[in-house]
Amino acid sequence: MPITRNYAHFLRLIAACTLFPLSVAAQDNWAFQPVVRDLDTPWAIAPMPDGGLLVTEKDGRLLLHRDGNTSEVAGVPQVETGGQGGLLDITLARDFDATRTLFLTFAKDQGGGSGTALVSARLSQDGRTLEQVRQLFEMKPGSRGGRHFGSRVVEATDGTLFVTIGERGDRPAAQDLSRHNGSVVRVNRDGSVPQDNPFVDQEGALPEIWSYGHRNPQGAGLDLEGNLWVSEHGAQGGDEVNRVRKGANYGWPVISYGRHYSGAKIGEGTSKPGMEQPAYYWDPSIAPSGLMVYSGALSEDLRGDIFVGALKFDYIARLSGDPLEEVEQIKGPETARVRDIVEGPEGAIWFISVGEATVYRMTSAD
Catalytic residues: 148
CA–CA distance, 81 with 108 (Å, rounded to integer): 9
CB-based contacts of 239: which residues, under 8 Å, 6+ apart? 231, 232, 233, 258, 281, 282, 283, 285, 286, 287, 288
CA–CA distance, 59 with 26 (Å, rounded to integer): 33
CA–CA distance, 315 with 294 (Å, rounded to integer): 17
What is the CA 64 to chain-centroid distance, rounded?
Answer: 19
CB-based contacts of 241: which residues, under 8 Å, 6+ apart? 229, 230, 231, 278, 279, 280, 281, 288, 291, 306, 308, 319, 324
Find the helix or strand (DSSP H, E) in which 165 lies: strand 161-165
CA–CA distance, 104 with 91 (Å, rounded to integer): 7
CA–CA distance, 215 with 256 (Å, rounded to integer): 10
Ramachandran bin of 83, using left for φ above 0, alpha for ψ from -120 to 50, beta for the remaining angles: left
Amino acid at 292: M
- Edge-to-edge strands of the sheet including 42-47? 42-47, 53-57, 62-66, 69-73
What is the CA 352 to chain-centroid distance, rounded?
Answer: 11
